[in-house]
Homo-oligomer: A and B are copies of this chain.
Amino acid sequence: MAKQVPSAPRSVRGSRSGRPIMALLDLLGRRWTLRIVWELRESTLTSRALRTACDEASPTILQTRLSELREAGFVELTDDGYRLTGLGRELFQTFTPLNRFAERWSKQVG
């Protein structure tokens, strides 16, 4: 049975609360989702280019995630390939502090 693509106000895997943040955490918590958004951050990529960028991840799962991200309104497919929508770019912005944090983390823990 296919899992629902979380779109905000519905009930979602791991949560019956319907809080949007839960739907978002659920979507972003699926494998490769965060990575895909990250790789699309500054360029439009064809599915093959995206696969290369994602260390040859399985096309099956990439397609699945891309469908979910498109349905969620974060990614769109253009003639040049996949790219973030306006909303997707807003989402990516929220990762910027995460990147800075990752650098600090690597110095403290690594």
Contact = CB atoms under 8 A, between A and B. Distances in A.
Q: Taking the full assembly, how many copies of this chain does it contain?
A: 2
A98 B31 contact: no
A33 B26 CA distance: 10
Contact of A105 (B20, B29, B31, B99): B20
Contacts of A94: 94-95, 97-98, 101
Contacts of A77: none
A25 B57 CA distance: 15
Given A87-B105, A108-B87, A14 B35 contact: yes
Interface of A: 7-10, 14-16, 19-26, 28-35, 38, 54-55, 57, 72-73, 87, 90-91, 93-95, 97-99, 101-110
